[in-house]
Amino acid sequence: MAQYVFFFGDGRADGGAEGKNLLGGKGAGLAEMVRLTIPVPPGFTLSTEVCRYHYANGRRYPEGLEAEVRASLAEVERLVGAKFGDPTNPLLVSVRSGARVSMPGMMDTVLNLGLNDATVKGLAARSGDKRFAYDSYRRFIQMYGDVVMGLKPENAQERDPFELLLERKKEQRGVELDTDLAADDLAELAVEFKAEIAQRLGQTFPEDPWQQLWGAIRAVFGSWENPRAVTYRRLYNIPSEWGTAVTVQSMVFGNLGDDCATGVAFTRDPSTGERRFFGEFLPNAQGEDVVAGIRTPHPISRAARMPTDPLSLEEVMPRAYGELCEVYQRLEHHFRDMQDIEFTIQRGKLWLLQTRNGKRTARAMVRIAVEMVREGLLTKEQAILRMEAQKLDELLNPMLDPTADKRVVARGLPASPGAAVGKVVFSADEAEALAAKEERVILVRMETSPEDIHGMKAAQGILTARGGMTSHAAVVARGMGKCCVAGCSVLQIDYAAQQLTVATPEGRLVIKRGDVVTLDGGRGEVILGAVPMTAAALDDNYHELMRWVDEARKLRVRTNADTPADAQTARAFGAEGIGLCRTEHMFFEPERILAVREMILADDTAARRRALEKILPMQRGDFLEILRAMEGLPVTIRLLDPPLHEFLPHTETEIRAVSDALQIDFQTVQRKNESLHEFNPMLGHRGCRLAITFPEIYEIQVQAIVEAACELQAAGVHVLPEIMIPIVGHPKEFVAMRALVVRIADEIIRVRGVPLKYTVGTMIELPRACVAAGEIAEAADFFSFGTNDLTQTALGLSRDDSGSFLPAYIEQGIFREDPFVAIDREGVGALMQIAVGRGRARKPAIKLGICGEHGGEPSSVNFCHQLGLDYVSCSPFRVPIARLAAAQAALASD
Residue 472 CA to residue 449 CA, distance in Å, equals: 6
Which CB sits closer to its own copies, 419 or 794?
Answer: 794
Quote the CA–CA distance of 534 and 538 in Å, as a whole number.
Answer: 13
DSSP calls for 118-167: THHHHHHHHHT-HHHHHHHHHHHHHHHHHHTT----SSSSSPPHHHHHHH
Binding part of the chain for its own copies, among 371-379, 381-389, 394-402, 821-829 by CB under 8 A, reads 821-829
**Strand 93-98 to 109-113 pairing:** antiparallel
- Spatial distance between the Cα atoms of 222 and 203, rounded to a whole number of angstroms: 19
Cα dihedral sign for 161, 167, 171, 172?
Answer: positive
End-to-end CA distance of the chain: 37
- Comparing CB distances to its own copies, the nearer of 309 and 747 is 747
Alpha-carbon span 650 to 641, nearest angstrom = 20
The residue annotated as part of the active site, out of 51, 260, 484, 851, is 851
Give the interface segment with its own copies, choosing from 40-48, 149-157, 542-550, 810-818 (CB under 8 A): 810-818
Nearer to its own copies, 425 or 828 (CB): 828
**CB 856 to its own copies: min, Å:** 23
User: Looking at 31-39, 454-462, 805-813, 845-853, which segment touches its own copies (CB under 8 A)?
Assistant: 805-813
> Measured from the CB of residue 660, what is the shortest distance to its own copies in angstroms?
23
Q: Which of 571, 705, 735 is nearest to 638 (CA)?
A: 705
Q: Which of 210, 258, 520, 555 is nearest to 390 (CA)?
A: 520
Among 21, 102, 798, 866, which residue sits at the site for its own copies (rule: CB under 8 A)? 798
681 contacts its own copies (rule: CB under 8 A)? yes
Q: Binding its own copies by CB under 8 A: which of 300, 795, 881, 885?
A: 795
Q: Which phi and psi (to 5°) does residue 278 adopt?
A: -140, 115
Contacts 24+ apart (CB under 8 A), 708-716: 708/620, 708/621, 708/623, 708/624, 708/627, 709/623, 709/627, 709/756, 709/758, 710/748, 710/749, 710/752, 710/754, 710/756, 711/624, 712/624, 712/627, 712/628, 712/631, 713/754, 713/755, 713/756, 714/752, 714/754
Parallel, antiparallel or unpaired: strands 5-9 and 43-46 = antiparallel
Q: Residue 589 has what DSSP assignment? A: S
Of 547 and 671, which CB lies nearer to its own copies in the complex structure? 671
By CB under 8 A, tell whether 230 contacts its own copies.
no
Q: Residue-wise over 737-752: b if at least 16 C-beta within 10 A, else e?
A: bbebbeebbeebbeeb
Q: Per CB under 8 A, does 812 bind its own copies?
A: yes
Q: Which of 814, 844, 845, 894 binds its own copies (CB under 8 A)?
A: 814
Q: Which residues contact 614 (CB under 8 A, 6 or more apart)?
A: 595, 598
Q: Which residues pair with 58 in a beta bridge?
A: none
CB of 48 vs its own copies, minimal distance in Å? 20
Cα–chain center distance at 46:
29
Residue 239 binds its own copies, judged by CB under 8 A: no
Taking the CB of residue 697, how many other CB atoms lie within 10 A of it?
22
| Window contacting its own copies (CB under 8 A); options: 113-121, 611-619, 627-635, 808-816 | 808-816
Distance CA 577, CA 635 (A): 6
Stretch 624-663: interaction string toward its own copies, x if CB under 8 A: ----------------------------------------
- DSSP structural state of residue 663: T
> What x-and-dash track marks residues 827-846 binding its own copies by CB under 8 A?
xx-xx--x------------
* Site for its own copies contains 794 (CB under 8 A): yes
- Residue 134: CB minimum distance to its own copies, A: 47
Q: Is 796 in the site for its own copies (CB under 8 A)?
A: yes
Interacting stretch for its own copies, rule CB under 8 A, among 58-66, 159-167, 355-363, 806-814?
806-814
In the list 416, 784, 792, 860, the residue contacting its own copies (rule: CB under 8 A) is 792
Q: From the list 530, 692, 748, 754, which residue makes contact with its own copies (rule: CB under 8 A)?
A: 692
Minimal distance, residue 735 CB to its own copies, in Å: 9
241: phi then psi, degrees, rounded to nearest 5: -75, -10
3 state DSSP class of 117: coil
Give the total of residues touching its own copies (CB under 8 A).
51
Known catalytic membership, residue 865: no
Smaller CB distance to its own copies: residue 347 or 743? 743
Rg, the chain, Cα only: 32
Asked if 58 interacts with its own copies (CB under 8 A), we say no
CB 875 within 8 A of CB 560: yes
- In this complex, which beta carbon is closest to its own copies, that of residue 43 or of residue 729? 729
Question: Using CB under 8 A, which of the segments 543-551, 589-597, 611-619, 800-808 binds its own copies?
Answer: 800-808
Residue number with CB closer to its own copies (9 or 786): 786
Question: Nearer Cβ to its own copies, position 58 or 679?
Answer: 679
Q: Which stretch binds its own copies (CB under 8 A): 48-56, 207-215, 302-310, 674-682?
A: 674-682
- Residue 600 C-beta: closest distance to its own copies, Å: 12
Which of 298, 472, 854, 865 is an active site residue? 472
d(CA 378, CA 483): 36
Q: Which residue's CB is nearer to its own copies, number 109 or number 833? A: 833
Sheet holding 516-520, edge to edge: 408-411, 525-528, 516-520, 419-425, 441-445, 461-464, 483-486, 413-416
Q: Is 200 in the site for its own copies (CB under 8 A)?
A: no
Residue 503 sits in the site that holds its own copies (CB under 8 A): no
Pick the binder of its own copies from 683, 717, 742, 748 (CB under 8 A): 683
Q: How many CB atoms lie within 10 A of CB 77?
A: 18
User: What is the spatial distance between Cα 584 and Cα 219, in angstroms, rounded to a whole number?
Assistant: 56
Whole-Å CA distances, 221 to 49, 230, 237:
11, 13, 19
Q: For residues 688 and 10, what is the distance between their CA atoms, to the nearest angstrom?
A: 71
Q: Which string of x and - marks every residue 706-735 that binds its own copies (by CB under 8 A)?
A: ---------------------x-xx-xx--
Could you say whether residue 604 binds its own copies (CB under 8 A)? Answer: no
Which CB, 70 or 743, lies closer to its own copies?
743
Question: In the complex, what is the shortest distance from the CB of residue 803 to its own copies, in angstroms, rounded to a whole number?
Answer: 9
Rule CB under 8 A: say whether 684 interacts with its own copies.
Answer: yes
Q: Which is nearer to its own copies, 333 or 677 (by Cβ)?
A: 677
414 in Cβ contact with 524 (< 8 Å): yes
Binding of its own copies at residue 815 (CB under 8 A)? yes
398 binds its own copies (CB under 8 A): no
Contact with its own copies (CB under 8 A) among 74, 311, 497, 808? 808
**Residues in region 747-776 near its own copies by CB under 8 A:** 765-768, 770-772, 775
**800 touches its own copies (CB under 8 A):** yes
- Interface with its own copies includes 600 (CB under 8 A)? no
Catalytic site includes residue 874: no
Q: Name the pairing type of β-strands 419-425 and 441-445.
A: parallel
349-357, strands of its sheet edge to edge: 298-299, 278-283, 261-266, 339-346, 349-357
- In terms of CB distance, is 128 or 813 closer to its own copies? 813
Min separation Cβ 804 and its own copies, Å: 5
Catalytic positions are 472, 851
Positions that interact with its own copies (CB under 8 A): 678-685, 689, 692-693, 727, 729-730, 732-733, 736, 765-768, 770-772, 775, 789, 792-798, 800-802, 804-805, 808-809, 812-815, 824, 826-828, 830-831, 834
